[in-house]
Amino acid sequence: MAQRDILEYPDPKLRLRSETVTRFDADLGQLVDDLLDTLYANSAIGLSAPQIGDLRQVLVIDLSDEGDAPQVYINPVIESKTAWGLVEESCLSVPGVVGNVVRATEVRVRAQDRDGQTFERDLQNMNAACLLHEMDHLDGKLFVDRLSFFRRLRIRASSKAKARRQSSAA
């Protein structure tokens, strides 16, 4: 069990596609535990494996107030989307940015658990949006890709300025 460092935009590793999990072994269990430790250490509601540099299709979410209801999705596939809404999102990999994204707010997902058992689940509202945000990470996409062009330009400019400040300070 360990908290792991989170990759931040514009790290190119965040743009890679994750691979289907075929081995449901102790190493996968360790990844799931590390994801949950890192999720809770950051008081976040969702985290995907590529955000900690591991390119397997694994994500965790927990939207409970107490942080005691972890959901683990391995190799998730959306089977249906039946409602949409505007959702305010942020991301541990894009610190300081909040933006409104159109997401499906009613989905049926099929996935596997950490033992490889397949399950189906219906998710609504923030649960659905959070799952879709994390599934984007598995495809190498970030929520800022879904914001308007001018909003994206501003984010890119400010992250470059930040990188310059950090390199001139070093």
Q: Select the residue whose beta carbon is closest to Zn ion and give its number.
A: 91
Scan residues 79-118 and list those touching Zn ion (CB under 5 A). Answer: 91
Task: List the beta strands (DSSP E) in the chain.
Answer: 46-48, 58-61, 71-89, 99-112, 118-124
Closer to Zn ion by CB, 33 or 139: give it: 139
Give the Å distances, CA to CA, from 59 to 102, 119, 123. 21, 15, 15
- Which sign, positive or negative, has the C-alpha torsion 92, 43, 26, 74? negative
Considering the complex, what minimum distance in angstroms separates the CB of residue 115 from Zn ion?
26
Q: Are 126 and 45 in contact (CB under 8 A)?
A: yes
Considering the complex, what minimum distance in angstroms separates the CB of residue 98 from Zn ion?
12
120 annotated active-site: no
Considering the complex, what minimum distance in angstroms separates the CB of residue 137 from Zn ion?
6
| Count, residues near Zn ion per rule CB under 5 A | 1
Report the catalytic residues: 134
